[in-house]
A and B are shown apart, each in its own frame.
Chain A
Amino acid sequence: MSEPSPALHARSMTELAAGLDAGDFTAVELTEALLARITDLDGQLNALITVTADAALAAAERADVERAGGSPGVLNGLPIIHKDIFCTRGVRTTCGSRMLENFISPYDATVVERLAAAGAVVLGKANMDEFAMGSSNETSYYGPVRNPWNLECTPGGSSGGSSAAVAARFAPAATGTDTGGSIRQPAALTGTVGIKPTYGRVSRYGMIAFASSLDQAGVITRTAEDAARLLGVMAGFDPRDSTSIDEPVPDYVAGIGKSIKGLRVGIVRQHFDAGLDADCATRIREAIAVLESLGATAVEVDLPNLDLSVPTYYVVAPAECSSNLSRFDGVRFGHRAENATDLLDLYCRSRGEGFGDEVKRRIMTGTYVLSAGYYDAYYLKAQQVRHLIADDFKKAFADVDVIAGPTAPSPAFKLGDKVDDPITMYLNDIYTIGANLAGLPGMSVPCGFVDKLPVGLHIVGPHFGEETLLRCAHQYQQQTDWHEAAPEAFR
């Protein structure tokens, strides 16, 4: 095959689908090209924990046969990377932890199953913060991921391997999960698109649980159009997830072409307070001006309890994590300590050795806020404040269709900069956490650069407002080319 132009790795999923349809290249050729790219370049980034080359080539061969047979799935032959939090049958699923270093999942997550059934080809499993607890990918047992825009910087977290892989053009898309911003913040820090759908929109079955009332699966891509294409496959009711919502899935791709004329965009007064980098604020205002030029109307709104969202989250999420992670007992799966003297010693040492510092810290925080004498003051109080925060959004959405603002308070920070102070690290998620607490869909879209590092525009919608978010982001991307910029070493 002669060198295609533009190179296959530079194309969006939608462009690749058109190339496969036209017979310009086969799924096997595409898969081989991207696997070679990963082999050449991932030494610099550490974005992948596992590369599934043989399985990918086998899936690509099947995709080519299916296409020849005349009934290809909607994602036939299209490459994707899964965050290593999604269980993949027969493939090691580590969740970024030593605890699951040797865990071979006996089943597929629903997200994995649906994407495979549509014909997608999985290239590998992406690095991540351990059990998705982190905002910089530095808590991974498998080492930090580096940002393709600046190798000294973090790609964000916890879906940092996913965001780095998409930014470095290892694949046009990667799955992610978002409990407090873990899809949107890494997307912002790497100049990619990230969408966290409404709570319950995408099945959590087979997605290793961190905080079950906040966790939601989504996707990182380079275009809103690709995100729409993937979300349409991933979303929908799943009887195996008891919190899955039984609502019809709209045709997201059909919806994105419509104009945003008349769309009311909420600008949150509290978003532009002292915590936001001044240059980032300028990029956000410029992005809002673009939306206005497309016919949207900016309306000021208030989220008076914004400052309480991070402390609320750091009670609710650790509480749920302490319960969810109690399943790791060294008995049925996961790391098991050697030569235990008794059952208690087996539990304590298996967990002490298997979990890293941040995970232990969150388990202990959660254990504390749920323990006798503290439950009312912390857990119950946080669930009350959570209601106030959700009500603030409800009030705002009475006046506006979406809320737009910054995804993160600054561009990507240096690896090592915030690792010693958990509170500084936690505050990185101030703009994204509210959507998780209220169960709302949120999306980050690249909107320019500060000091050669990408900045993300955050758009939040009401429950099941994914269609509007995707349309807004797609229309913005028709007017701007930030998403086409590639890091110099990864063009």
Chain B
Amino acid sequence: MSLSKDQVQHIALLARLKLDEDEYAESVAKLSKIVDFVDQLSQADTAGVVPMAHPLDAAQRLRPDAVTESDRRDYYQQNATAVADGLYLVPKVIE
């Protein structure tokens, strides 16, 4: 199955990825190839097969709902480009 440029643009937007014009041509071609390749799966007889949830059939472990970590905000924020007063800065959202 071949993907259209519109489809790839929609996927890129959902994935929050800005692509250049020349990246689109390549993405359409290569993503179409990948989708064709994984389409092989439709041939497999999976009637009644339970989708795998965990390779070892383990259940998700829960932990007590307790605070176990200390406040290290200042240290963590050293990796952010724009912070002020302990807050992360983003472009204005509400006019």
- The CA of A331 and the CA of B72, in the complex, are separated in Å by 17
From A42-50, A61-69, A239-247, give the one contacting chain B: A239-247
Interface membership of A463, Cβ < 8 A: yes
Interface membership of A340, Cβ < 8 A: yes
- The CA of A159 and the CA of B58, in the complex, are separated in Å by 28
A106-B79, A388-B49 known; A346-B91 Cβ under 8 A: yes
Scoring A residues 337 to 362 as 1 if CB is less than 8 Å from chain B, else 0, what string do you get?
00011111111110111010100110
Which residues of B are found within 8 Å of A305, using beta-carbon distances?
A: 44
Q: Are A438 and B55 touching (Cβ within 8 A)?
A: yes
Which residues of B are found within 8 Å of A294, using beta-carbon distances?
A: none
Q: Are A213 and B54 touching (Cβ within 8 A)?
A: yes
Interface membership of A31, Cβ < 8 A: no
Of the residues A245, A326, A331, A386, contact of B88 by C-beta under 8 Å: A331
- The CA of A397 and the CA of B89, in the complex, are separated in Å by 54
Q: Are A371 and B11 touching (Cβ within 8 A)?
A: yes
- The CA of A423 and the CA of B33, in the complex, are separated in Å by 8
User: Among residues 316 to 350 in chain A, which have CB atoms less than 8 Å away from a CB atom of chain B?
Assistant: 322, 326, 329-334, 336, 340-349
- The CA of A387 and the CA of B47, in the complex, are separated in Å by 12
Which residues of A are found within 8 Å of B84, using beta-carbon distances?
A: none
Which residues of A are found within 8 Å of B37, using beta-carbon distances?
A: 310-311, 314, 423, 426
A245-B56, A342-B91, A364-B17 known; A308-B40 Cβ under 8 A: yes
Interface membership of B78, Cβ < 8 A: yes
Interface membership of B80, Cβ < 8 A: yes
Which residues of B are found within 8 Å of A85, using beta-carbon distances?
A: none
Scoring B residues 28 to 67 as 1 if CB is less than 8 Å from chain A, else 0, what string do you get?
0011011101111110101001111111101011010000
- The CA of A417 and the CA of B56, in the complex, are separated in Å by 37
A352-B17, A367-B14, A423-B37 known; A381-B91 Cβ under 8 A: no
Scoring A residues 383 to 424 as 1 if CB is less than 8 Å from chain B, else 0, what string do you get?
111111010000000000000000000000000000001110
Interface membership of A7, Cβ < 8 A: no
Q: Are B79 and A387 touching (Cβ within 8 A)?
A: no
Q: Are B90 and A355 touching (Cβ within 8 A)?
A: no
A331-B80, A377-B42 known; A363-B56 Cβ under 8 A: no
A361-B30, A364-B27, A423-B37 known; A384-B49 Cβ under 8 A: yes
Q: Are A336 and B81 touching (Cβ within 8 A)?
A: yes
Task: Kindly provide the distance from the CB of A297 to the nearest chain B CB, expressed in whole angstroms.
Answer: 28
Chain A CB within 10 Å, residue with most, of B34, B60, B72, B76 = B34
Q: Are A383 and B91 touching (Cβ within 8 A)?
A: no
Which residues of B are found within 8 Å of A213, using beta-carbon distances?
A: 54-55
Interface size on A, residues (CB 8 A): 74
Q: Are A384 and B46 touching (Cβ within 8 A)?
A: yes
Which residues of A are found within 8 Å of B61, using beta-carbon distances?
A: 242
Interface membership of A142, Cβ < 8 A: no
- The CA of A72 and the CA of B16, in the complex, are separated in Å by 50
Which residues of A are found within 8 Å of B90, using beta-carbon distances?
A: 331, 343, 346
Chain A residue at minimum C-beta to C-beta distance from B38: A311
Of the residues B12, B39, B44, contact of A385 by C-beta under 8 Å: B44
Q: Are A463 and B56 touching (Cβ within 8 A)?
A: yes
Q: Are A369 and B38 touching (Cβ within 8 A)?
A: yes
- The CA of A104 and the CA of B79, in the complex, are separated in Å by 7
Task: Kindly provide the distance from the CB of B49 to the nearest chain A CB, expressed in whole angstroms.
Answer: 4
Q: Are A364 and B31 touching (Cβ within 8 A)?
A: yes
- The CA of A102 and the CA of B26, in the complex, are separated in Å by 29
Q: Are B8 and A364 touching (Cβ within 8 A)?
A: yes
User: Among residues 211 to 245 in chain A, which have CB atoms less than 8 Å away from a CB atom of chain B?
Assistant: 213, 239, 242-243, 245
Task: Kindly provide the distance from the CB of A139 to the nearest chain B CB, expressed in whole angstroms.
Answer: 13
- The CA of A363 and the CA of B39, in the complex, are separated in Å by 18
Q: Are A352 and B34 touching (Cβ within 8 A)?
A: no
Task: Kindly provide the distance from the CB of B6 to the nearest chain A CB, expressed in whole angstroms.
Answer: 13
Which residues of A are found within 8 Å of B72, using beta-carbon distances?
A: 106
Q: Are A371 and B14 touching (Cβ within 8 A)?
A: yes
Task: Kindly provide the distance from the CB of B83 to the nearest chain A CB, expressed in whole angstroms.
Answer: 9
Q: Are B56 and A199 touching (Cβ within 8 A)?
A: yes
Which residues of B are found within 8 Å of A94, using beta-carbon distances?
A: none
- The CA of A390 and the CA of B44, in the complex, are separated in Å by 14
- The CA of A340 and the CA of B91, in the complex, are separated in Å by 7
Chain B residue at minimum C-beta to C-beta distance from A244: B61
Chain B residues within CB distance 8 Å of chain A: 3, 8, 11-20, 23, 26-27, 30-31, 33-35, 37-42, 44, 46, 49-56, 58, 60-61, 63, 72, 75-76, 78-82, 88, 90-93
The 6 closest A-B pairs by CB, nearest first: A439-B55, A352-B18, A383-B51, A333-B79, A384-B46, A348-B18
Ordered by A's residue number, 29 sampled pairs between the chains whose C-beta atoms are within 8 Å are A102-B79, A104-B78, A242-B60, A314-B37, A329-B16, A332-B79, A340-B91, A345-B18, A348-B16, A348-B18, A351-B17, A351-B18, A352-B18, A355-B17, A360-B19, A360-B27, A365-B31, A365-B35, A368-B3, A368-B11, A369-B38, A384-B52, A387-B52, A388-B46, A390-B55, A421-B33, A423-B34, A423-B37, A440-B55
Apart from A104-B79, A243-B54, A382-B41, what 14 extra A-B contacts exist at CB < 8 Å?
Answer: A200-B58, A308-B44, A314-B34, A315-B41, A342-B91, A343-B91, A345-B91, A351-B16, A352-B20, A378-B38, A384-B50, A385-B49, A386-B52, A390-B55
